Structure 1
Amino acid sequence: MNPMILYGSEKDNGVAYMLLTALHSLHTGVLHLTTQALTLLPPVAPDISYLLLDDGQVRSVQMDGCILIFKTDCGGLGDIVLPKAHAAVLDPENEHAAALLQAHHIPVVTCGLSQKSTVTFSSRTPTTAVVSLQREIHTTSGALVDPRELPVTLSSPREDYPLLATVAALWLAGTSFPKSGLVV
């Protein structure tokens, strides 16, 4: 199972929604935990490949090797204790989260529109995008992911950061994508 922990405002659902949409498109079982609900998607999933913990601002998680994903709105993180994570995904402008991750010695995968970002777009239209991995990363199982591009078909307008963060997290988890790319 690939555990992913979302940090940030409970009202900021962009990344969680995008992850759930992508995993549904990939026909992958996910257990989604929030402060209000525990949901198995799809409801009769024969196998659960992902655990998505999204309760807003988890203060303490005892789980090694997970993927941390920082939402766009990370106000009020306060004194959280981060687990021994494999890596974290964040917007490079999120200085508070970056400092917290540096203090915990957690590798960071930045997602943004800068060439300095690890994950960015090589092209983007209202209905398509090509997400680009600018430098190598390692999956949670230790496999190397070389720089690459992933075509994405957008079924409706999508915000940049949730899309980039979703693809980055899935690459970190070692997710296999169809040759035609991802549909979200």
Structure 2
Amino acid sequence: MSDTEPPDWSAVIHQHAERVFRIAYRILGSVHDAEDVSQEVFTEAMSVHRSGMVRTWTGLMVRLATVRALDRLRRNQGRPGALPNGDFTPSPEPQPDQELIATELATWLRGEIESLPTQQAAIFSLAYFEQLSRNEIATALDVSPEAVSTTLYKARKRLSSRLAVIQGEKS
């Protein structure tokens, strides 16, 4: 297909819908918000295609899903019921206390991710929620693998220091 030909949108959606939804859901923890973000991603992908060449649909979809989910996470801050709504299950048969701890940790992590700079939040989310390799993240976000490593290190360091502060407050 040439860059001037319109893509087969049903094929593009079929190929990328599951991954886009999964990325959004893992960042947001809400099926409803993940569905909304998925729709935004495909609408934006159409606009991006119209405005220029798309080098890789997978890279575009991963980038858009991550950035739009992070945007939604930041917008939802402080909105009642915006974070984990019972969809998160840490193990097949969790004990009530384990489930509560996992839900609190997921809520805390989502809150902290939204406070990270956008690039750090995107790279951290792709590395830990999507388990993409350094090279896959570099391709998806159009940065060097070295930049991915450096940014991921900074994000982990920042989150670790915040966790240490929280743990120190509870002691």
- TM bin (shorter chain): under 0.3
More helix by share: 2
TM-score, length basis structure 1: 0.26
How high is the TM-score relative to the length of structure 2? 0.27
Larger Rg: 2
Q: Choose between structure 1 and 2: higher strand proportion.
A: 1
